[in-house]
Amino acid sequence: MRYLILSAIMALTTSAAWAEIGLISGDWITQDEDAKIQIQDCGDGTPCGTLIWVDPSAPGGGLDAENPEPTLRTRPLVGLEIIWGYEKRGERWRSGRIYNPQDGKTFRSSLHLRSEDKLIVKGCLGPICRSNTWTRSVSETGAS
């Protein structure tokens, strides 16, 4: 009986985590409309985000040219995981990381779903933070 109750609690916890990640899952266009990120479950009920489109006219030619590690500067941006490591706290995902290929830096990050189609993405380096609003993509191809 104890195992049945434990199994039920774990199933409910996993379902709740999936329901919450499900709210922000999908394809998102960055504030500058120069990239599209696909957010999905990392496999542990937390969000991960992968670049699935980058504006071909952006500096760097679609490569991770600003990466501080010279051996990674020739890797393609498309397919690169740029957000990971979040914990659910209230209505926000916090304590995550976001990699910015434009400057090669990784920042502390939080995610907050403002509405069904607006995601607030905050990145912080020390006490200095910057927020961007990503818009849910309405199509599965191209930039928007």
- What's the pLDDT score for residue 27? 98
User: Which CATH number fits the domain that encloses residue 92?
Assistant: 2.40.128.520
| Percent helix, percent strand, percent coil in the chain, to nearest 5 | 20, 45, 35
Asked if residue 45 belongs to a domain, the reply is yes
Asked if residue 103 belongs to a domain, the reply is yes
Asked if residue 144 belongs to a domain, the reply is no
The SS3 assignment for 22 reads helix
Asked if residue 7 belongs to a domain, the reply is yes
Domain span at residue 43 reads: 2-136
- What's the pLDDT score for residue 95? 96
Asked if residue 142 belongs to a domain, the reply is no
- What's the pLDDT score for residue 98? 98
Span 44-63, average pLDDT: 93
DSSP state of 64: -
